[in-house]
Structure 1
Amino acid sequence: MSTERIADAVKFAYWVPNVSGGLVTSTIEQRTGWDYEYNKKLAQTAENNGFEYALSQVRYEASYGAEFQHESTSFSLALLLATERLKVIAAVHPGLWQPAVLAKLGATADHLSNGRFAVNVVSGWFKDEFTHLGEPWLEHDERYRRSAEFLQVLRKIWTEDDVDFRGDFYRIHDFTLKPKPLNTPERPNPELFQGGNSSAAQENAGRYSDWYFSNGKDFAGVTEQLDNLRRVARDHQREVKFGLNGFIIARDTEKEARDTLREIIEKANKPAVEGFKGAVQQAGNSTGDKKGMWADSTFEDLVQYNDGFKTQLIGTPEQVAERIVAYRRRGVDLILGGFLHFQEDIEYFGARVLPLVRELEAAESNDQQLVASH
């Protein structure tokens, strides 16, 4: 169990399906669209069903079942303008973006959305997206060193004037951004997220980002990552929040939920999953400690791109809610949910699962207060 800060209430985000093929590489029916009209309605549904964040994916060309892709920053801004409260996180690749240019875009998006734009810095797993665009494909830890500089430059440009930065990857000379984002000293906007599973990813997040995004993990995996992340953050007098990916299958009965999972895996698009496996596992296994993303993922795990089945948010509303609260107890601040049929599954989650989560959180809080008062 966590011995450090535990969130009063876990937050919820969802994967924006701005890429075709849904969130599982399977021929199972997915009543989910990748077009803007579907996603506009979905974003409005999500913010009215307890979701505070949405994460727009980044893919630049067809790959592994994702034939079509909408660009993440422009799609995020469109969703922000269609909603009132939802915070939308755009995934971006250092190496394909110049950080000062993204900082300018982010400041504008922040003003247009009244402070609801955020960025997820993705160091990159898909080599072809770089080489097909004539960009170098760096070794794993070098990609994370570049991301570290990228995060630092974004933060400095958003919060300082006359910025100078002399790094190995980026050079900024006496640059001042105006207008800056709608930030406060306590929590500069936009929020910065850093994804990854490796020690290099945790080092970056602990030093430079507001949030760390993890692939799907069981309780032991989450505890290991949180311990390391918090150690790094403490060493730099910082605190970082933790987001966990999970594919959510909540149904009226456990059998129905498990049958859905079984059908997803049985109908997996095997060539696409195997191709994805070959592309991503070199990333995890290329790290010194062999703990990078997807390093230990099985074929079944990879049917969901980001190991979402491992989190085991599968079952009745009661079972899913209890497991979410158990993750919160271990220090998870946010659940990033993927779904099979996004529109209807998010409505079901908001009506049937989220109220139970809040009830369980309130009960635990009351118990803690009683213990403290004796």
Structure 2
Amino acid sequence: MTTERVAEEIEFAYWVPNVSGGLVTSDIEQRTSWDYEYNKKLAQTAENNGFTYALSQVRYEASYGAEFQHESTSFSLALLLATERLKVIAAVHPGLWQPAVLAKLGATADILSGGRFAVNVVSGWFKDEFTHLGEPWLEHDERYRRSAEFLQVLRKIWTEDDVDFRGDFYRIHDFTLKPKPLNTPQRPNPELFQGGNSLAARRNGGRHADWYFSNGKDYDGVTEQLVDVRTEARAHKREVKFGLNGFIIARDTEKEARDTLREIIEKANRPAVEGFRDAVQQAGNSTSSKQGMWADSTFEDLVQYNDGFRTQLIGTPEQIAERIANYRRRGVDLILGGFLHFQEEIEYFGEKVLPLVREIEAADREQAERSGGGSNQILLGV
């Protein structure tokens, strides 16, 4: 089995802990903090340890172990101004943002950061955040139709003048944004990310986004989504990159890593996990195909609220590096990592895991060149 496009080097992102409670809903110790000083230092550590991107979370209402949270776009800009190379992705909700207003904010953030601002369009799973603010709660596929228009409007405003757009959710009339974001051959406008698992999410990602984010998945789950997203993209003469969520537990021995996972689950905050499950599984099950996010997630999966354990980046540096390499061979372009103790574990990852990943990639390139297939024609041995 082969895949047409394999990245020469996989990239890495991390979840910004701008929301309290860490990345697992558990009472296990998590040496992390949602405050700015911690996150400023963490962003600097990440960019010096091989991370290309950071994703600022979005949560508006205190809930499910996330009692406190900093707003994502403003926090992203603060991190951009505290770093030199890191690209920061701000998660936003259509329905709570007007796309032209976000386009203006994004253009300013992009210019101030030298072209490092990006957006992750989140269609929404938390009904209360909409209804408590007096906003309508749309059915699943309608939320994704709105997101599709949101993505289109953002791109048009960032790249065109005198924009007209007449959709079911957004109407733009003769609108010109100046200054526009930075435009370079390497990156013509701020990158747009779309996440999800459902068929509607895959359709949006293929048609409108630069990147598609998936919840945690095993090899077969990743391959299924990649085929769908890239088939949709190519039908519209586009290419889309693929990012995969994974909770990373890298330890000197596999036993240490597995014991850590076991402790996380044993100490799960059951009321918080069950409250989250009740909120999100109606979103996943509301699709006709039952393929929405969290539709088949177990209690243990939801302790890491984006199914990060499923990716199985748990073990020694060698085991994790090989698994990352296998995901890359299947077409994954980026790993979005969560950690228990962010500061020290990102340092450990940069020192112990990342060099092994790069060694495997170099060996793959040499093998491909010897076989005459080129770096994008790698036989999948997983």
TM-score bracket for this pair, using the shorter chain length: over 0.9
Per-residue CA deviation, residues 51-84 of structure 1 (Å, 9 max, x unaligned), is: 0000000000111000100000000000000000
- Which residue pairs with 1:27 in the alignment? 27
Q: Is the 8 A contact 2:159 2:189 kept in 1?
A: no
Q: Does 1:308 align with 2:308?
A: yes
- Which residue pairs with 1:346 in the alignment? 346
Q: What value does the CA root-mean-square deviation take over the aligned residues? A: 1.0
Q: Does 1:218 align with 2:224?
A: no
Identity of aligned residues (%): 86
Question: How many Å separate the matches in 2 of 1:187 and 1:110?
Answer: 11
Letter in 2 for 1:258: R
TM-score by length of 2: 0.97
Letter in 1 for 2:290: K
Q: Does 1:243 align with 2:243?
A: yes
What stretches of structure 2 of length at least 5 have no aligned partner? 375-382
- Which residue pairs with 1:187 in the alignment? 187
Residues 91-240 of structure 1: pairs in structure 2 closer than 5 A: 91-184=91-184, 187-240=187-240
Residues 212-361 of structure 1: pairs in structure 2 closer than 5 A: 212-361=212-361
Task: Give the Å deviation of 1:184.
Answer: 3.4
Task: Give the Å deviation of 1:140.
Answer: 0.1
Letter in 1 for 2:206: G
Letter in 1 for 2:227: D
Letter in 1 for 2:270: K
Residues 41-56 of structure 1: pairs in structure 2 closer than 5 A: 41-56=41-56
Letter in 1 for 2:118: A
Q: Does 1:73 align with 2:65?
A: no
The 1:217/1:284 distance shift into structure 2, 3 A limit, reads same
Question: How many Å separate the matches in 1 of 2:331 and 2:268?
Answer: 33
What stretches of structure 1 of length at least 5 have no aligned partner? none
Q: Is the 8 A contact 1:280 1:294 kept in 2?
A: yes
Equivalent position SS for 2:233 = helix
Question: How many Å separate the matches in 1 of 2:86 and 2:354?
Answer: 17
Aligned positions, number: 374
The 1:373/1:53 distance shift into structure 2, 3 A limit, reads closer
Equivalent position SS for 2:336 = strand
Q: Is the 8 A contact 1:2 1:331 kept in 2?
A: no
- Which residue pairs with 1:59 in the alignment? 59
Task: Give the Å deviation of 1:187.
Answer: 3.3
Task: Give the Å deviation of 1:185.
Answer: 5.8
- Which residue pairs with 1:4 in the alignment? 4
The 1:160/1:321 distance shift into structure 2, 3 A limit, reads same
Question: How many Å separate the matches in 2 of 1:316 and 1:291?
Answer: 32
Task: Give the Å deviation of 1:373.
Answer: 7.8
Equivalent position SS for 1:120 = strand
Q: Does 1:37 align with 2:37?
A: yes
Equivalent position SS for 1:261 = helix
The 1:2/1:295 distance shift into structure 2, 3 A limit, reads farther
Q: Is the 8 A contact 1:76 1:88 kept in 2?
A: yes
Question: How many Å separate the matches in 2 of 1:331 and 1:31?
Answer: 33
Question: How many Å separate the matches in 2 of 1:160 and 1:183?
Answer: 12
Question: How many Å separate the matches in 1 of 2:212 and 2:133?
Answer: 28
Question: How many Å separate the matches in 1 of 2:299 and 2:373?
Answer: 50
TM-score by length of 1: 0.99
Question: How many Å separate the matches in 1 of 2:186 and 2:355?
Answer: 30
Task: Give the Å deviation of 1:343.
Answer: 0.2
Q: Is the 8 A contact 2:215 2:306 kept in 1?
A: yes
Task: Give the Å deviation of 1:338.
Answer: 0.1
- Which residue pairs with 1:18 in the alignment? 18
Question: How many Å separate the matches in 2 of 1:305 and 1:295?
Answer: 13
Question: How many Å separate the matches in 1 of 2:276 and 2:7?
Answer: 35
Letter in 1 for 2:245: N
Q: Is the 8 A contact 1:100 1:157 kept in 2?
A: yes
